[in-house]
Amino acid sequence: MKPVIGVPLRYEHLIDGRPILYLGEKVRQALIKANSKVFPMSPPQLLDYIDTKGNEFPGLSKEEKDYIDEMLDNCDGIFMPGGKKFTPYDRYLLECAIKKQIPTLGICLSMQMMSCYKEDIVLEKNESEINHKQEDDNVLTHKVKIKKNSKLYKILDKDEIMVNSFHNFHGTENRIYKVSAISEDGIIEALEYPGNFYNIGLQWHPEISYDFDENSKIIIDNFIEEALKYKLKKEEKQLVTN
């Protein structure tokens, strides 16, 4: 049995300037290797998601929210990739995932969105001697220190690991998500939502290093295991209801 992992599509331009929505190949392959089914999720609003500025997006209508809710009914987990921007669609998706307690793993920009959950968007530009914007996919670039009272520590059973890094900005601490890991220069590297369910954000990209880094594989595989547990509970509840 394989859980269905919803992956919101990201926004980009082709070389000729045309806007597209896309699913990263590293994301797709890592989730399939981890024994899940990938469910691409498109945003609902009829506008240009790459060229519309973040502060110019209109709020979601009831119909658009219903569209997202129906997609989520098909999901046992949500993998929220990195990207160039997050939108009202992404923020509502996170809100619903928390409300429904759907296992959620947010990566890079999506972790930064978690740092702004229910608050104004505040991201800071990296100012550090540590390389947070590496060019090679096949290396790990800097250390991350993991807090021992965190879910991430329970998953990895380690208080320090090496990670990759592909970002120019970083999230700031908020009132809701707990910081569970930091880099040597103090930048937030992992967040987790308090409570007894899986909702974790990582500044690095375990999907990129899944094939050669044991910790990355453990993180992705554990996320899929949590999604499978959610799927089984959901099916048990449906049987009782019927």
Instruction: Give the residue with greater pLDDT, 127 vs 77.
Output: 77
Proportion of the chain in helix, strand, coil states, percent, rounded to 5: 30, 25, 45
Express each pLDDT in 10-67 by its tens digit.
Answer: 999 999 989 999 999 999 999 999 999 999 999 999 998 888 988 899 999 999 999 9
Q: Reply yes or no on whether the pLDDT at 80 is more than 80.
A: yes
Q: Are strands 37-41 and 4-8 parallel, antiparallel or unpaired?
A: parallel
The pTM of the full predicted model, rounded to 2 decimals, is 0.93
Residue 168 binned pLDDT confidence (cut-offs 50, 70, 90): low
% of residues, the chain, pLDDT over 70: 94
Q: Reply yes or no on whether the pLDDT at 130 is more than 90.
A: no
Residues 11 and 50 sit within 8 Å (Cβ to Cβ): yes
Residue 167 binned pLDDT confidence (cut-offs 50, 70, 90): low
pLDDT of residue 104: 98
Say how many CA atoms lie within 13 Å of 140 toward its Cβ: 18
Express each pLDDT in 83-119 by its tens digit.
Answer: 888 899 999 999 999 999 999 999 999 999 999 888 7
Q: For the chain, what are the domain ranges?
A: 4-241
Topology of domain 4-241, per CATH? Rossmann fold (3.40.50)
Residue 193 binned pLDDT confidence (cut-offs 50, 70, 90): very high
- What does pLDDT average to over the chain? 92
| Window from 56-65, 115-124, 137-146, 227-236 with minimum mean pLDDT | 115-124
The residues, any chain, with a CB within 8 Å of residue 5's CB and separated by 6 or more, are 31, 36, 37, 38, 39, 75, 76, 77, 78, 79, 224, 227
Q: Reply yes or no on whether the pLDDT at 5 is more than 70.
A: yes
Residues 42 and 57 sit within 8 Å (Cβ to Cβ): no
Residue 132 binned pLDDT confidence (cut-offs 50, 70, 90): low
What is the C-alpha to C-alpha distance for residues 196 and 100, in angstroms, rounded to an integer? 12
